[in-house]
Amino acid sequence: MHEMDYHQSNSGCTLFFKHSRNRISILLVYVDDMILTRDDLTFLGMEIAYSRHDIFLSQLKYTLDLLKEIRTNDSKPATTPIDLDGKLGRYHKLIGKLIYLSHTRLNITYVIKLLSQFIHDPREVYTVVARRVLLYLKGTPDYDMLFQPHGHTNVKIFTNADYAGSIIDRQFTSGYYSFLGGNLITWHNKKQLVLSRSSVEFEL
């Protein structure tokens, strides 16, 4: 490793760094496997770009590859990821890919949550709702996440829940968003397994 100008990290004996021409290469070794990435390459399907002030996370290539695989060339893009008057459905492989894509596409998280509720009953391999998400992605493949400095590292967490919001079983959904330094870093929502008898009870 030293002959190739890689230097061992102080935080782990299997992590190595290499600096060359203002670029950083990172090599992680585990038994007989390794992961190699650079700051100008994709990592696990995500593109990372940054300047002195901003950091961008994008899955543009992953989105375009997904659209090519599903063959949406002859379809028009959609302006929203869900049609509330449409029909819900499921498709195991597609939903799994969309769940991964939602890591940087927060605007499709809600509809993917709805679709994933039916993944254990795949009577239809393709659905109107899932296809609309793809058409929405076709019209917005370059939507990214932006992290900016705001002069502080304060942590803020927002939580909320609806009351009997599920149209299927009337269960409620709770969720949270956490911010670090004014930037959204984690989010989660989940349909709860219990039924609430009042709007006060589900907030507790």
* Cα-based distances in Å from 186 to 59, 89, 104: 17, 27, 11
Reported pTM: 0.50
Report d(CA 66, CA 60) in Å as an integer. Answer: 10
99 within a domain of the structure (yes/no): yes
Element (H, E) at 60: helix 60-70
Domain match, 161 and 100 both? no
Q: Is residue 46 part of a domain?
A: no
Q: Is the same domain home to 160 and 132?
A: no
- Residue that finishes a domain, picked among 83, 108, 139: 139
If one counts every other C-beta atom within 10 angstroms of the C-beta of residue 141, the result is 18
| Domain co-membership, 113 together with 65 | yes
pLDDT at 4 over 50: yes
Asked if residue 14 is part of any domain, the answer here is: yes
Confidence of residue 109 (pLDDT cuts 50, 70, 90): confident
CA atoms within 13 A on the CB side of 114: 19
Stretch (H or E) spanning 23? strand 23-30
pLDDT grade, residue 39 (50/70/90)?
low
Six-digit token pair at 119? 């993944």
- Higher model confidence: residue 106 or residue 37? 106
Which amino acid belongs to residue 127?
A: T
pLDDT at position 33: 77
Distance CA 168, CA 162 (A): 14
Residue 29 pLDDT more than 60?
A: yes
Is there a single domain that holds both residue 78 and residue 124? yes
196 and 161 housed in the same domain: yes
Most confident of 25-29, 61-65, 148-152: 148-152
Domain identity same for 130 and 156: no
64 CA to centre of own chain: 15
Same domain? 62 vs 4: no
Tell me, what's the pLDDT at 90?
46
Which residue(s) pair with 24 in the sheet?
19
What's the total number of domains in the chain?
A: 3
Q: What is the mean pLDDT of residues 85-108?
A: 74
Q: Are residues 68 and 133 in the same domain?
A: yes
Question: Whole domain around residue 32: which residue ranges?
Answer: 1-40
* Domain shared by 116 and 74, yes or no: yes
Shared domain check, 169 and 98: no
Same domain, 14 and 84: no
* pLDDT tier at 179, thresholds 50, 70, 90: very high
Lowest mean pLDDT among 59-68, 140-149, 191-200: 191-200
User: What average pLDDT does the segment 31-43 reach?
Assistant: 69
Residue with tokens 């585990």: 30
